[in-house]
Amino acid sequence: MIRKGDTVIVKAGREKTKTGKVLGVIENGKRVLIEKLNIVKKNSKPTQASPQGGIIEKEAPIAYSNVMLFCSTCNKGVRTGTKMVKDKKVRYCKKCEKNI
């Protein structure tokens, strides 16, 4: 389960092998926005807020299946599990058994 604020690594697509922080999860967890990755250019019309309009660069969502949670101790994308620690559910790395 990937949440806002997690560090992830992209496993497929044009941004493959890059890591970044998750800005948000969109559409019931099917897509994620990652900081400074998958940048697209968008044309915007002039409005009262931005009277000039122009070309804006912004992050586009990436499919959830193309990213993995990044473990800093393993230094790669890992699968995760959940376990109970002091009546709290905690995510952990399945390779090194450390809490994420």
Which range marks the domain in which residue 67 is found?
A: 7-73
For residue range 52-66, list pLDDT tens digits in order: 999 999 999 999 999
Taking the alpha carbons at both ends of the chain, their separation in whole angstroms is 11
Q: Looking at the 3D structure of the chain, how many domains does it have? A: 1
Supply the mean pLDDT for the chain: 94
Between the CA of residue 23 and those of 36, 48, 53, what are the distances in Å? 10, 27, 25
Q: What are phi and psi of 46, to 5 degrees?
A: -65, 135
Answer whether residue 64 is part of any domain.
yes
Answer whether residue 57 is part of any domain.
yes
Answer whether residue 50 is part of any domain.
yes
Answer whether residue 79 is part of any domain.
no
pTM score, whole prediction: 0.86
Looking at the DSSP bridge assignments, the partners of residue 90 are 83
| Intervals of the chain under pLDDT 70 | none
Return the CATH number at 36.
2.30.30.30
Answer whether residue 78 is part of any domain.
no
Residue type, 14: R
Answer whether residue 61 is part of any domain.
yes
